[in-house]
Amino acid sequence: MTTQPIPAGSRPEHIDAYLSGLDRYNPETVSTFQDYVQLQCENQTYDAMSNLALLKLYQFNPHLTRDETITNILVKALLVFPSPDFSLCLHLLPPNVLDANTATDDLSAAVRKLCVLNELIESASYREFWTAYESDDLYADLVADCAGFEETMRDAIALQISMIAREVKKDFVQGSLNVNDDNLTPLLQRYGWTVEGDMIKIPINKENEAKTMVFRESVAFNQFQGVVRRGFEQAA
């Protein structure tokens, strides 16, 4: 199951009311927004607008900030790459949290760790992403609240691969999804991919389908008049 952005009309009514009115900036709504972040983590949904609103409230009311909620928001944003949501969230964090030279608290360390993962996933360095993710136990703690993190990330990576290719090497897929032969088979069945030798075939979709591009230029006859006239003048 992948993380699903909240479709129009599906956001809880009280959250929608807050976001649509002045309560968006009311510090008394912070606890409600925080509970909503936790709900997103549990049911694998995602509401960027609500999460960004909460980070904005934290800016205005730093004494209400909850580090765990901030890291959960960043983890959720990480899962919806290649959207710019992760960067948008970073821009709403206090400067001292982002300054690697001066920050020493746990939140700053967590944010830097997640930034490493974001840079790797944005650059399509999928194998390196999993290597970094498994290299530090802190990552397991950071994603613990977000149900199905690894599965969701695999699905997101597979989607990106399916958008740019119709066949890829089997070892590339295994490295990108961080799975062995035994775990690969059920994933391929779920994606509808097939194995042929050492290659994996991906069904045609609207993104990876080869398309013939036909370019037509419409030029009016009177646009040639100046060119023709200059040609005769130069000849004379």
CB distance 96 to 103 below 8 Å:
yes
- Please give the chain's pLDDT, 236 residues, in tens: 456 566 556 889 999 999 999 889 999 999 999 999 999 999 999 999 999 999 999 999 999 999 999 999 999 999 999 999 999 999 999 888 887 666 568 999 999 999 999 999 999 999 999 999 999 999 999 999 999 999 999 999 999 999 999 999 999 999 999 999 999 999 999 999 999 999 999 999 888 887 766 666 666 656 656 666 666 666 55
* Total residues belonging to the chain: 236
Nearest to 198 by CA among 178, 160, 176, 168: 168
| Calpha distance 121→128 (Å, rounded) | 9
User: Measured over all CA atoms, what is the biggest interatomic distance in the chain, rounded to whole angstroms?
Assistant: 84
Between 3.90.190.20, 3.40.50.720, 1.10.443.10, 1.25.40.250, what CATH number should domain 4-164 receive?
Answer: 1.25.40.250
Q: Which residue has the tokens 């069904």?
A: 203
pTM of the complete model beyond 0.75: yes
CB distance 95 to 63 below 8 Å:
no
Structure tokens given for 226: 């100046």
Residue boundaries of the structural domains of the chain: 4-164, 169-236
